[in-house]
Chain A
Amino acid sequence: DTGVSQDPRHKITKRGQNVTFRCDPISEHNRLYWYRQTLGQGPEFLTYFQNEAQLEKSRLLSDRFSAERPKGSFSTLEIQRTEQGDSAMYLCASSLGDSRDTQYFGPGTRLTVL
């Protein structure tokens, strides 16, 4: 297994466009997390899934953001009507069970909104 993968690695879009990111966790990992990180800051929690169930959403996740994990494997994060303030690194992580387990992070998707 090669670890958590994310696609694309970089995305440049114009304000108002929709974007979708994909995360493939380590196989057999039940938990999947999404974070956002801006320059010089720590990651900010967005949401997490236990298998296909979305269990927690941050208030940071406005109505323009939606995440899915339809079959309990890969996940997608969609941002609608992007704004310049959405520019950030979007990180995905997975863990085997609950929060007692190590989270393994993917390489991230860097979003730039022009």
Chain B
Amino acid sequence: ELKVEQNPLFLSMQEGKNYTIYCNYSTTSDRLYWYRQDPGKSLESLFVLLSNGAVKQEGRLMASLDTKARLSTLHITAAVHDLSATYFCAVDMGKIIFGKGTRLHILP
């Protein structure tokens, strides 16, 4: 079965703290994507990771991919309120499968 699992599904954290969202997937793939979705809005692409060991950073967000472990992480550094959103990972496993999303709430 093609599965993408995100952990945690809900996260409430304080501004200034660091945290990591995990994305595990069930079948070999070297194409993984991270998206952000604000309430009532569509999805915004954050990162496209295309090889084992790929690391990309944009502002306070950094994503990495370990294809051997079938694991990607999205690390948040010194969180700010504006990062409150739902974050999805998605994996190309012949067709693109999304995780359920991690709803991130950052408290001021």
Contact = CB atoms under 8 A, between A and B. Distances in A.
Query: Are A and B a genuine interacting pair, yes or no?
Result: yes
Interface of A: 33, 35, 40-45, 48, 56, 58, 91, 93, 99-108
What's the dominant secondary structure at chain A's contact region? loop
A102 B95 contact: no
B43 interface: yes
Counting chain B CB atoms within 10 Å of each CB, the highest count among A35, A43, A103, A105 belongs to: A43
A42 B90 contact: yes
A7 to B, nearest CB: 14
A110 B98 CA distance: 19
Contacts of A44: 98
B96 A100 contact: no
B41 to A, nearest CB: 8
Interface residues of B, number: 22
Contacts of A108: 42
A104 B42 CA distance: 10
Interface stretch (B44-52, B59-67, B72-80): B44-52
Contacts of B97: 45
Nearest to A46: B95
Contact of A42 (B41, B88, B92, B95): B88
